[in-house]
């Protein structure tokens, strides 16, 4: 099954971004997690069917109302076992 790991920059902390990503991941039945990074970015790791991951990425690129996503960088997936259902990390 394909996996993605993303680093999201912009106005993505303090606007409900992690909650939005967690809801999207659960709605699409993906395994994975989302967390805030100390540098102000948000990191996302997800595993699922290719179609669901494509839709998930579109949602992450848009973000919730109040967010302003300026960049989504694709990182190398870590190969770790991802939690199901989709979770928020601190």
Residue 68 annotated among the catalytic residues of the structure: no
Active-site pick, 5, 18, 27, 73: 18
Residue 58 annotated among the catalytic residues of the structure: no
Q: In what order do the strands lie in the sheet with 68-75?
A: 68-75, 3-11, 42-47, 31-36, 87-89
Active-site pick, 22, 36, 58, 73: 36
Enzyme catalytic residues: 18, 36
């Amino acid at each position: 099954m394909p996996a993605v790991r993303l680093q999201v920059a912009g106005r993505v902390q303090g606007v409900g971004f992690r909650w939005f990503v967690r809801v999207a991941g659960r709605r699409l039945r993906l395994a994975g997690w989302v967390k805030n990074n100390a540098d102000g970015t948000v990191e996302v790791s997800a595993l699922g069917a290719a179609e669901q991951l494509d839709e998930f990425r579109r949602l992450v690129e848009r973000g919730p109302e109040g967010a302003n996503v300026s960049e989504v960088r694709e990182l190398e997936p870590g190969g770790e076992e991802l939690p199901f259902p989709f979770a928020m990390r601190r």
